[in-house]
Amino acid sequence: MALAYYYLDILLHKCRSFCQIKQLHSHLLTSGQLHSSPSAAAKLLDLCSHSPSADLSYAALLFRRLPTTPSTNAWNALVRGLARSPNPTRAISWFRDMSRAPQKADALTCSFALQACARALAGFEAREIHSRVVRLGVGADVLLMTTLLDVYAKVGDLECARNVFDEMPRRDIAAWNALIAGLAQGSRPGEALDLFRRLREEEGLRPNEVTVLGGLSACSQLGAFREGEKIHDYVMEERLDMSVIVCNAVIDMYAKCGFVEKAFGVFRSMRCGKSLVTWNTMIMAFALHGEASKALEIFGQMREAGLEPDAVSYLGALCACNHAGLVDEGVRLFDSMVGSCLVPNVKHFGSVVDLLGRAGRVEEAYKMISSMPMVPDVVLWQSLLGASKTYGDVEMAEIASRKLMEMGSNSCGDFVLLSNVYAAHERWDDVRRVREAMKKRDVKKIPGFSYMEVDGVIHKFVNGDQSHAKWREIYAKLDEIKSKLKSYGYEAKTKVVLHDIGEEDKENALCYHSEKLAVAFGLISTSEGAPIQVIKNLRICEDCHVVIKLISTIFSREIIVRDRARFHRFKEGSCSCKDYW
């Protein structure tokens, strides 16, 4: 009998086509081995559901017609195959069916079902399986708990992911990777970076490619240049730079931390070859830094290298034109895209609409929106509203605002922009009407905040902030700045304070904007001559832009501000945006 099973194993491993699987199935039926050997049935099911020639419908039929009660291994084979199929939710259904069967799920069954949850982003079902894991008492299984952690991270339930991680008696590098990636992708980059440091410094584990990608993503979001540079050093030491994906992430990190030349240095020195994503990342990096000519040059070089631009390439090139005000070049690029095999999407239209609007061609921007082959999204109307605010076009602002209301937009920014248009024309009754509408719809204004990294610590500031441990020193530095600005002929841009209050109150409100607080903290916390990097959640205001330009001259500092839309590199009294943002 043992010899028969030995030859059966050989036959199972030699099946290369679905036809051979059916022939073996017939042999097992006629010889009675399918009835007498649960393990043979399980192995055949595994072959039907998981091999390159798998047929899940046939596997399910085979399962239902097994002559004996299906074993746990048989259930596992089917759930495993379904979990990796185009429709992973079927694996969850079969897992639930198993709860009513004589054979009970084991750690492997739960792991396969959780893999299905991860692919289907099924958070509720994952919690059900988590409860089953607790009842089965298999929580010590590292692989199973890592899979559970991964599901929670992917569905955005980071609290549960963190709890699973903290309760694990042992953790392997996959467990660490899952939580770091989840935190980085879930807008909690600070925690992701802390975990990355802990993995290396406290646990003594060596980050692999996946860990490094999570750490670089966190640095990109935080603008944590020093930490990102350390990770890059590690990448070079461990020869992880032979991975094009890692190199792309390093380029993106340097660019988003404000050092586009360092990003370009990595781009030029890549030993692993460049993918289309590499070229696109570099194009977008130059675009966000206002280096339009370099972005378009890379766009051309990509074609010379034998790579045809895709939709992302064109979007990066259009963004470059947008940030530099190259209207004719942007329109030409858009037309060339239309003339190729690529179909522009709403983002491409949005970029051109923004380009036209920011150049003052508001009517053309409106006509483009009206003639689009697809339904304009909220962002397009917001771009038009923003352009209307910049150029004081009340009529167009009201059109865009009405469209946004019809689309159900409840963004505070939409109301604020319309309010700003009215305020700029001193139509205070209309301003009050907009603010009353905001209250009625319970619209909350997004508070402006800025943050910066000093010695590996992230410091956050809000407008008028006095919560920082060094707030008195920061305010003293601002007073010093204020007195020095006068000798440079500075006058506060009080028109950006859109409240019906006196000029003195407006000047005081401007003085303590979050980016000014962050820059002042940078001046007192970093060595003389060192660059200062600030990240702001909203667009930088006109007054802060003027002040920081002057600070870069007064204190001989390079100051890099990344706002919601782009980078501003202030040096010797000028900005890389050339005052066009």
Amino acid at 566: R
Distance CA 551, CA 116 (A): 55
pLDDT digits (tens, 9 = 90+) for 132-177: 888 888 878 888 999 999 999 999 999 999 999 999 988 889 899 9
| Residue pair 520/474 in contact by the 8 Å Cβ criterion | yes
What are the C-alpha distances in Å from 195 to residues 79, 184, 232, 403, 447? Answer: 33, 10, 17, 44, 28
* Residue-by-residue DSSP string for 128-143: HHHHHHHHHT-TT-HH
Of the candidates 481, 490, 533, which has an alpha carbon nearest to the alpha carbon of residue 512?
A: 481
Chain CA centroid to CA 214, Å: 11
pLDDT digits (tens, 9 = 90+) for 343-395: 999 999 999 999 999 899 999 999 999 999 999 998 899 899 889 888 888 88
Helix, strand or coil, per DSSP, at residue 559: strand
Which residues of the chain, if any, have pLDDT below 70? 1-39, 51-54, 493-509
Helix (H) / strand (E) containing 570: strand 567-571
DSSP 487: T
> Does the predicted model carry a pTM greater than 0.75?
yes
DSSP 508: H
Token reading at 478: 């601002």
379: burial class by Cβ within 10 Å (0-12, 13-18, 19+)?
A: middle
Which distant-in-sequence residues (6+ apart) come within 8 Å of 163 by Cβ? Answer: none
pLDDT digits (tens, 9 = 90+) for 411-438: 777 787 788 888 877 888 888 888 888 8
pLDDT value of residue 211: 96
Helix, strand or coil, per DSSP, at residue 453: strand
pLDDT value of residue 120: 92
Helix (H) / strand (E) containing 456: none
Amino acid at 462: V
Helix, strand or coil, per DSSP, at residue 125: helix
| Residue pair 419/412 in contact by the 8 Å Cβ criterion | no
pLDDT value of residue 386: 87
pLDDT value of residue 1: 42
